[in-house]
Structure 1
């Protein structure tokens, strides 16, 4: 991945405000990444200092291996899940373009 795309992804994730969520696909589309999986890979490798917990799968669920911590962090910001699913209609962040 080129450095400019990497930094655009980091910036886009950093922009998601507390109490809101975005999806891997939203971030990919916003920065011109070829795949939402690329966003997930970047977060896994270099996302420890980002609000990674605000990024969900397209169906509003967290990745299984981080679900407990992710949902707890979101709950602390006022984002409530129904079971393991966050209502994207209610909490999805739509940046002003």
Structure 2
């Protein structure tokens, strides 16, 4: 970080606030994903019959399959939420900070 522009951006209060908000948002989404994942694992560990129960009488598909797919899909959804917020808010603010630093 020898370039003066980088130093100016990094020392900007607005940039530091944006980085803090982005990190907080990322940690919240990570925590949500961990709760979903560990809840699934805990159900498997302590109540395997719950997810091993067939969806309907005579079905070979158990409740574990849709719950497992839900865990996978939730990862994609949370990633999409992060990307959307990043594209709408963080990228715009980052560009503004860079423009201000160039002045």
Please report the TM-score for the alignment, with normalisation by the length of structure 2.
Answer: 0.23
* Higher relative contact order structure (alpha carbons within 8 Å, sequence separation ≥ 6): 2
- Of Structure 1 and Structure 2, which has the larger fraction of its residues in strand? 1
Please report the TM-score for the alignment, with normalisation by the length of structure 1.
Answer: 0.24
- Computing the radius of gyration from Cα coordinates, the structure with the larger value is 2
